[in-house]
Structure 1
Amino acid sequence: MSLTELSGAPESTPGPEPSVATTARPQRRAAPLAALLVRLHFYAGVLVAPFLVVAALTGLAYTVTPQLDRALYGDQLFVPAAGEQARSLAEQITAARASHPEGSLVGVSPGVGDRTTEVVFALPELGDKQHTVYVDPYTAEVRGQLTTWFGSTPATTWLDDLHRNLHLGEYGRHYSEIAASWLWVLALGGIVLWWRRRRTGRGRAKHLLVPDLSAGKGVRRTRAWHATTGVWLSVGLLFLAATGLTWSRFAGENFGAGLDALDARRPAVSTALDGAPATGGGEHQHGGAPSSAVADPVTFDRVLSVARDAGLSGPVEIVPGEPGTAWTVTQTDNLWPVGRDQVAVDPAAGAVTARNDFADWPLLAKLSALGVQAHMGLLFGAVNQILLAALAIGLLCVIVWGYRMWWQRRPTRSDRRAPAGAPPARGALRALPWWALAVGVPVVAALGWALPWFGVTLLGFLVVDVVLGRLAGRRGAHPTPSEG
């Protein structure tokens, strides 16, 4: 949920005129914590919603990348007919090298089923990108070549950059981090506000999950759709916020530091043949991975056979090592249940020298890896894509309804006409009890440190609010003729 309770003003409902003997009941004031949450939800919703719109639209586009890849690059990625017996990797690599004589051979992913074999070459001028040559595993015919980014096609890479940084590099990553830093705050805050309204209002909890459409039109009907849709989306939105923050620029670094402190990173498999521990993380990277530019193609068949005997089934990637080190073979099956086991193989002895199974990873490492795959729409295949698309579309609807509520609550009298509704009343922070401040300030400060863009923007909201309050105070102290 991104915007609820946008004005905080009570609704008026038609009713009978009170008799002379009837005393009007005074309007109940909201508790200071609730009033503060309403005002924070309002400002955050209005100002952060544009970032969420961009994230939702670009994320929605990314959900169709598997179908887009098949449409654009089907000739390279897939074989016209799957055979029963694949050619040797040596033959396929030789064919790929003949069509691409430049660069270092840094990885081979043998074709499985109707997928082509991917032979990856690194060149210094490509930076962290590679040239991938696609070979029919059953005929050893080269099907084409693409410039890839860790296995992603050009179209997928373009949409991934659009979603992460709007093609603005490190600068652009700030937008997605702001969106992820506030998405969970808006979702949880919206749930609390809607629960309080349903708990005390007519209908009680009945319409927490079902919109109350008793009002034919107006802000009540809009709010019903906005809030109940947000409640349905809340689990998914919290998941997207959490997983998105894990690889954001600043919050992601803090998350990584936390994993290091807890020793919860993905374990690294040792490629040293003398039993020395491995250095670096468990993820290899083509751009900087050690490899041999003159690796014997025949060795790939030997290493693959050893890995298969060791139990690594399904799609795998073979990464050659420097002379005197082991090669690594890693499962690359991203569908549930995932295959992420990894072995190091001595290419000369034809034996496994080290092993790293997904089952042995720390729990946080497992959850992080699975969360990333689900965030990218890969973990559950088409079902995952559909769920992500529904989340994106639902979030867009919630935001539109939020802005519509803001507009519907605008003053329409000729002497008070305004383009949008007024923000909720200020003063809730000053009304908080001391114990709430004693607990809340350290918690918010800790969150601001862990999520820097949350802290910076929250401080910005406070500054804006103070400035607007001072301006409103001056206008009140020196009323214009029309105000007096």
Structure 2
Amino acid sequence: MSNPISSASHRAENTHALYRAVWRWHFYAGLFVLPFIVLLAITGGAYLFRDEIDNFVYSDLKQVTSPATPALPYSQQMAAARSMQDGTVVKLTTPVTPTSSTEITIADAAGARHAVYVNPYTGKALGEMADRGTIMWLIRRLHSLAEFGTFPNALIEIVGGWTILLVLTGIYLWWPKRVDGTSRLAIRGKPATRRWWRDSHAVIGLFAGFFIIFLATTGMPWSVFWGKYANQFANGTPTGYPSGVRVDVPLSTIPMIDAFGTTGWTTENAPLPFSVATGPQAIGIDAATQKLNNLGLTQGYAVSLPNGPRGVYSASIYPDDLSLQRVIHLDQYSGQALIDMSYADYGPLGRGLEWGINVHMGQEFGLANQIFMLMVCISLIFMAVSAGAMWWKRRPNGQMGVPPLPRDIRKIYGVMAILAIGGIIFPLVGLSMIVILLLDLVFVVRPRAQLRNA
């Protein structure tokens, strides 16, 4: 007959060993992720207010006074833009509001793109800058790590996966009840003590954890590896944009992202169609924009001009209201709408991901969405700072302070086996886990084992 006291002691020891194993991986996740989290939280919090910031910083280019006279034809506005910048007009972005300027993108002889801003009522060219040269485009590139090159950009997927791991292991570490009977939501001590930082870290992490996972998950579509193949899967099946929308239309090999520079995630790899009609010349930008207006396209849309004799007028709009998201391609000779696709035409996966991205970017619910996501970003920064404070206060002098190994080393492998599921879903995350495990074995586990056996 088994001893009840011995069995209880064995269960307690197993629980403590598992706790140590989870704590160890929580530490490694934080060690890897926290510097990136601070950067992503700061840049993401700023990008939530991209329109407000850009309109303020570049008010002399982006804002005009709305007179009583109607706007000039876009052909005249394009001519005004070319008087300031030589080259070929490749894209036109219509004014969002009556007090917004028209943005005309011109490619110079060397292929560099310039954004020229024109007063739509007077035809005056207000100024120009490099295309995507605004401060918010820089913030966006910093947020995606694209500013640092292709390899750092691939870290987005790894950071997202490790952030999810960080939250889930953190919840596990918080979950056991305290022995002193105090509430698990209590913040004890003062900021000078490690206890205060630990409790604050746990409580804020508990409330913000779900939204942190949401941000990490909805940021994955932009990742280099997972995002690419998820997009191919979505758009190769009826779960993304339905192939039946353009089944009778000849398609080019040019993806929409090449034409517009930035598009919705679901449509970025959708190929542009070919013009099927023939004629002596294209209908022109004025007739094309009039056709788009008649089709009910929301103002603020961008129009990519035909590239070659078989090119099309390609218009797209990605407003805060997802129901108004739309893509229209016009035959450059007849003006016929070859493809007219809206958010409602996407498959369930496409709609779900677009909704998640819209909320991630602070667009779906207006100002409330922006403010709430800003609070989550601030929580992320506090989580990183409090983690650093806890580590600094508990680490032994001159050491990293890696959480102690459980007595049963197999617990580490058991936790790793559970984490492998996430590694299969996100392969780059799985690869990084293997690297961390090997480093832990070589530089921490083995030296400690040799020291004990000496």
Please state which band the TM-score falls in when normalised by the shorter chain: 0.7 to 0.9
1:314-357 CA distance string (max 9 Å, x none): 32222232435542332242x23452122233344344343112
* C-alpha distance in structure 1 between counterparts of 2:71 and 2:173, whole Å: 60
Q: CA deviation at 1:264?
A: 3.4
Change (3 A) 1:66 1:345: closer
The 10-residue stretch of structure 1 (241-250 or 350-359) with the greater mean CA deviation from structure 2: 350-359
CA contact (8 A) 1:106 1:289 kept: no
Q: CA deviation at 1:429?
A: 4.9
1:474 and 2:454 are equivalent in the alignment: no
* C-alpha distance in structure 1 between counterparts of 2:196 and 2:162, whole Å: 26
2:13 aligns to what SS in structure 1?
A: coil
Corresponding residue to 1:327 among 298, 313, 333: 313
Q: CA RMSD in A?
A: 3.6
CA contact (8 A) 1:271 1:344 kept: no
The 10-residue stretch of structure 1 (89-98 or 64-73) with the greater mean CA deviation from structure 2: 64-73
Q: CA deviation at 1:53?
A: 2.6
Corresponding residue to 1:317 among 267, 280, 302: 302
1:304 and 2:289 are equivalent in the alignment: yes
* C-alpha distance in structure 1 between counterparts of 2:69 and 2:205, whole Å: 50
Equivalent residue runs for 1:355-366 within 5 Å: 355-366=340-351
* C-alpha distance in structure 2 between counterparts of 1:61 and 1:354, whole Å: 35
Q: CA deviation at 1:299?
A: 2.2
CA contact (8 A) 1:222 1:404 kept: yes
Corresponding residue to 1:40 among 9, 14, 25: 25
CA contact (8 A) 1:89 1:298 kept: no
Q: CA deviation at 1:243?
A: 2.2
* C-alpha distance in structure 2 between counterparts of 1:269 and 1:301, whole Å: 30
Change (3 A) 1:427 1:456: farther
Q: CA deviation at 1:240?
A: 1.7
Equivalent residue runs for 1:126-165 within 5 Å: 126=111, 130-149=113-132, 153-165=133-145
Which amino acid is 2:449 matched to?
G
The residue number in structure 2 matching 1:110 is: 94
* C-alpha distance in structure 2 between counterparts of 1:418 and 1:162, whole Å: 33
Question: How many residue pairs end up in the alignment?
Answer: 429
Structure 1 stretches of 4+ with a deviation exceeding 6 A read 214-217, 268-272, 287-292, 295-298
1:344 aligns to what SS in structure 2?
A: strand
Change (3 A) 1:332 1:41: closer
The residue number in structure 2 matching 1:481 is: none
CA contact (8 A) 1:270 1:276 kept: no
Change (3 A) 1:126 1:62: farther
Corresponding residue to 2:439 among 447, 458, 464: 464
Which amino acid is 1:141 matched to?
K
The residue number in structure 1 matching 2:214 is: 239
Q: CA deviation at 1:382?
A: 4.0
Q: CA deviation at 1:192?
A: 2.5
CA contact (8 A) 1:264 1:365 kept: yes
* C-alpha distance in structure 1 between counterparts of 2:256 and 2:406, whole Å: 51
Q: CA deviation at 1:184?
A: 0.9
Change (3 A) 1:68 1:360: same
Which amino acid is 2:315 matched to?
V
1:253 and 2:239 are equivalent in the alignment: no
CA contact (8 A) 1:271 1:325 kept: no
The residue number in structure 2 matching 1:423 is: 403
The residue number in structure 2 matching 1:173 is: 153
Which amino acid is 1:327 matched to?
Y
2:127 aligns to what SS in structure 1?
A: strand
Change (3 A) 1:345 1:249: closer
* C-alpha distance in structure 2 between counterparts of 1:360 and 1:471, whole Å: 59
Equivalent residue runs for 1:274-289 within 5 Å: 275-277=249-251, 279=253, 281=255, 283=257, 285-286=259-260
CA contact (8 A) 1:93 1:297 kept: no
* C-alpha distance in structure 1 between counterparts of 2:449 and 2:89, whole Å: 69
* C-alpha distance in structure 1 between counterparts of 2:105 and 2:236, whole Å: 35
1:269-298 CA distance string (max 9 Å, x none): 9899x8435655555524698999xx9897
* C-alpha distance in structure 2 between counterparts of 1:51 and 1:428, whole Å: 32
CA contact (8 A) 1:407 1:420 kept: no
1:66 and 2:66 are equivalent in the alignment: no
* C-alpha distance in structure 1 between counterparts of 2:438 and 2:447, whole Å: 12
Which amino acid is 2:134 matched to?
P
Change (3 A) 1:239 1:126: farther
Give 5+ residue unaligned stretches, structure 1: 1-24, 412-416, 479-484
1:285 aligns to what SS in structure 2?
A: helix
Q: CA deviation at 1:183?
A: 0.7
Equivalent residue runs for 1:322-471 within 5 Å: 322-333=308-319, 335-337=320-322, 339-410=324-395, 421=401, 423-431=403-411, 441=417, 444-445=419-420, 447-467=422-442, 468-471=444-447
The residue number in structure 1 matching 2:174 is: 194
Which amino acid is 1:451 matched to?
F
The residue number in structure 2 matching 1:228 is: 203
1:423-465 CA distance string (max 9 Å, x none): 13334551589xx68xx74x64453344233223211221232
State TM-score, norm by structure 1: 0.76
The 10-residue stretch of structure 1 (212-221 or 456-465) with the greater mean CA deviation from structure 2: 212-221
The residue number in structure 2 matching 1:218 is: 193
Change (3 A) 1:216 1:325: closer
State TM-score, norm by structure 2: 0.81
* C-alpha distance in structure 2 between counterparts of 1:423 and 1:327, whole Å: 60
* C-alpha distance in structure 1 between counterparts of 2:256 and 2:382, whole Å: 40
* C-alpha distance in structure 1 between counterparts of 2:371 and 2:67, whole Å: 28
Which amino acid is 2:330 matched to?
V
The residue number in structure 2 matching 1:122 is: 107
Which amino acid is 2:138 matched to?
W
Change (3 A) 1:476 1:329: closer
Change (3 A) 1:256 1:373: same
Change (3 A) 1:363 1:278: farther
Q: CA deviation at 1:241?
A: 0.9
Higher fraction of helix: 2
CA contact (8 A) 1:109 1:318 kept: yes
1:125 aligns to what SS in structure 2?
A: coil
Q: CA deviation at 1:148?
A: 1.4
CA contact (8 A) 1:86 1:137 kept: yes
The residue number in structure 1 matching 2:4 is: none
Change (3 A) 1:82 1:456: farther
Change (3 A) 1:399 1:471: same
Give 5+ residue unaligned stretches, structure 2: 1-7, 262-270
Equivalent residue runs for 1:49-88 within 5 Å: 49-81=34-66, 83=68, 85-88=70-73
